[in-house]
Structure 1
């Protein structure tokens, strides 16, 4: 997949992505002083650009970074997608504080803006998840912020993959179900779809929000956002996870519990697919 990568760095396409272009004192590298977004790319183009850029702005504000230039981000997206020979892919937008001290003091700037794209394989329709031994902080400064300080998620995903799963699920510091390392989780009880609320210390996922909106509109059954324990969640009839690169993915195994890829999950997946196909940039 590396041969499909295209990189746009601070306004220009990079001819050789393997060559160093980041300053060794860029604060995104030194202390994780940066934020990012990951968008899926379909044949028609990048999906939900406006929603992702709005969240990028919220994350930047939470970290004290300058407001990202949305027009520049869109120019970068256009540049990395121009002339592509693949349909399904991923875009990552990264914004950092730029050059700074070798510590936690504020970056000097100017900031760094990178837009990168690459082809990806279609997500599997089903997956296995496990519960992680670590918790999500309910009240940390970076709770719910999509920051480049992603070490906790890297460790969690590695822990899951070492045990034959593709995703690890966190509970939070209050003992309630939270989220995956890079996904949101939904439970099906009968015909009711339940997901942890944002107050559980989770990321406000773009796919999560659109699943809730489009399912509520189509099914006339509101998704219920409420706290629940992992034990209660594992009593669900069906489980699925969502993310920009997974869309709606059925969970067939969670720890020692098995689940069917059931009718409600399939209906939600179909609802989401119909939604993005009709509206590439939903507001």
Structure 2
């Protein structure tokens, strides 16, 4: 079910102009929320981030109440949905990078979701540019994420993990990363170029409230090579050296929530106790409040 310009549409019905800047050059921002019982989870936080992303690329987000009304209409028409997406684009514009002077486009769509309780990750050969003009923003310019996901999928994964340009662990194509190491659960610093994920944000807040040792890592604390230690901890070897430290991973995102990584580059790996505790904590807390 799709909302566009005040109307509810089916997927086969037209919703945007062929010269919409979101189509021609990917000029737009978006948010994805999980839907539970016909309600969008953490909608207020997602709308705040939508406004930050829009400002980051020079757009003005639509009035919040307009978006909330559109969300309500879509979910009333499709209450069994599992996923909600809100998209704002630059609207109709010339065929080039220059924006037009007309109104922005707003789309709200809802559909099914089939989240898994575990994740299978693959390391990607490409990097995230932490100095990009859109670093840390949730934009519709998503081609590199699509390519990365396809690479991971072809190798049996459901997510691809990236370093940044200086070799720090950054993020997945559609998720944040948590690393269990040394009795703590660490997630890469935002200065690595990763997205400030809503699930990441909530996980850190709830962990702090409940005494789970989780924190944002220092910017240079988690090199991409830390992933070698995940496979070493599972009994693999690198250069004839076997692993002894218990290092494991979880991925965090709006649909997967907090999901332990059980395979890395095709090798089975075991989630650690903090990863499992984080998954349980997040599942319990999200059931308590729909808009934390």
TM range (shorter): over 0.9
Q: Cα 1:242–1:220, aligned 2, differ >3 Å: closer, same or farther?
A: closer
CA distance in 1, matches of 2:16, 2:64: 21
TM (norm. structure 1) is 0.92
Match of 2:238 in 1: none
Q: How does 1:102-251 map to 2 (within 5 A)?
A: 102-121=95-114, 123-226=115-218, 227=220, 228-236=222-230, 237-251=247-261
Match of 1:99 in 2: 92
> Are 1:11 and 2:6 an aligned pair?
yes
Residues 63-86 of structure 1, C-alpha deviations (whole Å, 9 max, x = no match): 111232111111111111115352
Q: Structure 1 residue 127: deviation in Å?
A: 2.1
Residues 165-202 of structure 1, C-alpha deviations (whole Å, 9 max, x = no match): 10001100011110000000011014210111000001
Greater Cα offset, 219-228 or 182-191: 219-228
Q: Structure 1 residue 26: deviation in Å?
A: 0.5
Q: Which runs of 4+ in 1 moved over 4 A?
A: none
CA distance in 2, matches of 1:44, 1:106: 36
TM (norm. structure 2) is 0.90
Structure 2: state its 5+ residue gaps: 231-246
CA distance in 2, matches of 1:211, 1:43: 22
Assess if the C-alpha contact under 8 Å between 1:146 and 1:203 holds in 2: yes
Q: Cα 1:83–1:26, aligned 2, differ >3 Å: closer, same or farther?
A: closer
Assess if the C-alpha contact under 8 Å between 2:185 and 2:275 holds in 1: no
Q: Structure 1 residue 29: deviation in Å?
A: 0.5
Residues 136-185 of structure 1, C-alpha deviations (whole Å, 9 max, x = no match): 00111011111101001000000110111100011000111100000000
RMSD: 1.5
Q: How many equivalent pairs are there?
A: 274
Assess if the C-alpha contact under 8 Å between 1:169 and 1:180 holds in 2: yes
Q: 2:56 aligns with which of 53, 62, 82?
A: 62
Q: 1:89 aligns with which of 82, 88, 111?
A: 82
Q: Cα 1:213–1:74, aligned 2, differ >3 Å: closer, same or farther?
A: same
CA distance in 1, matches of 2:133, 2:19: 23
